[in-house]
Structure 1
Amino acid sequence: MIDLLVVGDANPDVLVSGAPETPPAGQAETLVDSGTLALGGSAAIVACGAARLGLSTALAATVGRDAAGDFVLDTLRAAGVDVGACVRHETLPTALTVCLNRADGDRAILTAPGCLPAFDAAQVPEVRARHVHAASYFLQPRLAAGLTALLERFRSTGASTSLDTNDDPAGEWRLAPGLLAACDFVLPNEAEALALAGALTGDPVSALPVALTRLAAAGPVPVVKRGGDGAVARYEDTDVTARGPRVTPVDTVGAGDGFDAGFLAGWLAKGDLAEALAWACACGALSTRAAGGTAAQPTLAEAEPAAARIRVTREHL
């Protein structure tokens, strides 16, 4: 049995820093501060982070039969991730993302989905795992259509489950019926939490406590990332909040995925929500030390002392 199966997207990221907000056309050459080729895709970054923390980790994803697909699979293997559950599409290319990073930490993300929409839940093999995590729900409609049944199947074998939807390019934020109930944890950032909670009832949500209440009522423990302000999780009648560490990031691409990896490692190690939140905040922060989502992901030896310094509080509602 492995510790973690991650299901979702995998692609190269091209990270560009110092680009103007609207690059000039007319075949003008625009010089930028830096460019980096890195492993991308939320699922792939989570898998790499978990493997670096010592979890036996496999990834189920799809890539094309092209150089980009070779890059993705070679990078995952080098990180210690089992790619035996990855499939290669015969005709469609590997997805590709370009991130235009701004000095204030914000970024524009341009994604050519390639073979991502063709990835089907039926392609995920029977794997014995302690936990199953799914990512990038809205980029993979065929996977999304079968994800509820897939997670329920793994839960029936004793696995715990989690979902990080990531952004919805369509802005609709609708999840399949029963999906949240099939998850032990849902791991959005604050903006995603508000959007998901609003879509549950059709009533807009502008306050995080309301979002936590609605998401928790649907079944999972909501674990919400708040960037430099840490994270908060709602479990029954208690909010568990983690703060710190404060860092000056080099690049925040993949920090949320590093957070997910740390959370899952902490949860699988101790089964304690406060400990998992501390590991999540530590790993998310440490991952910002270099460009790209995986270059600075912490080892177990780096994450453990950082997590011990995270301040975690509980507030009964």
Structure 2
Amino acid sequence: MPETRSRPFDLLVVGDANPDVVLGPVPRDLVYGQREQLVERADLVLGGSAAITACGAARLGLRVAFAGRVGDDPAGAFVRTALAARGVDTSALTTDPELATPLTAVLTHGADRAILTAPGCLAATGPQDVPDALIAGVRHVHAGSFFLMPRLARALAAVFARARELGATTSLDTNDDPSGRWDRELLDPVLKVTDQLLPNAAEARALAPDAEGVAGAAAALARRGPGLVVVKNGAEGALAHDGSRLSTASAVPVEPLDTVGAGDSFDAGFLAAVLRGLALPDALAVACACGSLSARGRGGTAAQPTWDEAVGCAPVNRTTNSGSSAWPT
């Protein structure tokens, strides 16, 4: 395997980036008929699962690059500026000359939320937006929002296979599938070249509908190819399954202000821990801390923790083999 420690970037994140307008609390039953309704708060923040993960990883001290697509519009400029301000390299963030930047409205109601997205240029995001030279310069490639980008989804197995050829490890967070199909034929080739699959509990159950419970879904998914399935399970913490063994970690108790992007911050914490050489139980603990602590602020990136903050809230073994992956390909 090619040496990776001296590469320019620790992590390449591939996927979605867009502004989020977070509104709430919103009544459960919205009133139509052109009635104006007031909410307590609205925030314009950086959104997109991949973008939030990239920012969280940079906050944790990783050298992070982002590959994706935005429109040639004010929303795209907002995204580019927000990523760069958080230390993420955006030289591979393509500007689409015709299609608009995706936009998302997040309507919050207590701990629940509805998410409305206009996909814009997400449908045009594809393998052409992931330069081979950039893949060769990273230790790990992570992709988010698999089902929102069908062109990229169809090519992601080849992108991941190329990353592995060049010595990088891989991970995927599918996120939700708005179509409700959870296309196994599309996903399974990607799972065979994925080192870590990172769904939440609802997504894991949807991806493995015949399995019993969250742990059963994780085990079933692990048997389909990924080296490890890590499931975010809200207040229950997280669990991981490698096809034969189950590991668990508890959530870090916080008073949540906004849970938007908490799962993406979990992803960032897990990847940062793995790339620092932490063992699986410690990586899960750090990831849970990152997910919980991110809920202290509004939007997905405002309260993402530093490495010291995350480790300070997680019971980890601080003697690690820094810079080596815990799960080599």
Under TM normalisation by the shorter chain, which class is it?
over 0.9
Shift of 1:218: 1.1
Shift of 1:271: 4.5
1:232-260 deviation digits (Å, cap 9, x = unpaired): 00124221100021222100000000000
Which runs of structure 2 are paired with 1:124-143 in the superposition (5 Å)? 124-126=130-132, 127=134, 128-143=137-152
| Contact 2:215–2:239, Cα closer than 8 Å, also in 1 | no
Shift of 1:46: 0.2
> Which of 6, 15, 23 pairs up with 1:16?
23
Give the match for residue 315 of structure 1. Answer: none
| Contact 1:122–1:146, Cα closer than 8 Å, also in 2 | no
**What residue ranges of structure 1 are gaps of 5+ in the alignment?**
199-203, 311-317
> Which of 146, 149, 154 pairs up with 2:155?
146
Q: For 1:234 and 1:162, locate their aligned partners in 2 and report how far apart those are by CA, in whole Å.
A: 14
Shift of 1:26: 2.3
Give the match for residue 257 of structure 2. Answer: 250
Give the match for residue 263 of structure 1. Answer: 270
**What residue ranges of structure 2 are gaps of 5+ in the alignment?**
1-6, 318-329
Give the match for residue 198 of structure 2. Answer: 187
Give the match for residue 313 of structure 1. Answer: none
Number of residue pairs the alignment of both structures matches: 304
Give the match for residue 208 of structure 1. Answer: 214
Give the TM-score of the pair, scaled to structure 1.
0.93
> Which of 10, 34, 37 pairs up with 1:27?
34
Percent identity between matched residues is: 54
Is 1:66 matched with 2:73? Answer: yes
Give the match for residue 327 of structure 2. Answer: none
- When the two chains are superposed, the root-mean-square deviation of aligned CA atoms in Å is 1.3
> SS at 1:101's partner residue?
strand
1:280-316 deviation digits (Å, cap 9, x = unpaired): 0000000000110000000122112112379xxxxxx
Which runs of structure 2 are paired with 1:145-294 in the superposition (5 Å)? 145-175=154-184, 176=186, 177-198=188-209, 204-220=210-226, 221-294=228-301
| Contact 2:266–2:289, Cα closer than 8 Å, also in 1 | yes
Q: For 2:26 and 2:61, locate their aligned partners in 1 and report how far apart those are by CA, in whole Å.
A: 37
Give the match for residue 97 of structure 1. Answer: 104
Is 1:306 matched with 2:313? Answer: yes
> SS at 2:16's partner residue?
coil
| Contact 1:267–1:275, Cα closer than 8 Å, also in 2 | no
1:139-192 deviation digits (Å, cap 9, x = unpaired): 000000100000000011111100000000011111424210110010001110
> SS at 1:87's partner residue?
strand
Q: For 2:243 and 2:314, locate their aligned partners in 1 and report how far apart those are by CA, in whole Å.
A: 24
Counterpart of 1:189, as a letter, is N
Give the match for residue 118 of structure 1. Answer: 124
Q: For 1:147 and 1:244, locate their aligned partners in 2 and report how far apart those are by CA, in whole Å.
A: 31
> SS at 2:208's partner residue?
helix
1:9-63 deviation digits (Å, cap 9, x = unpaired): 0000000012112322222211101000000000000000000000000000100
Give the match for residue 86 of structure 2. Answer: 79
Give the match for residue 321 of structure 2. Answer: none
Q: For 1:309 and 1:147, locate their aligned partners in 2 and report how far apart those are by CA, in whole Å.
A: 33
Is 1:53 matched with 2:64? Answer: no
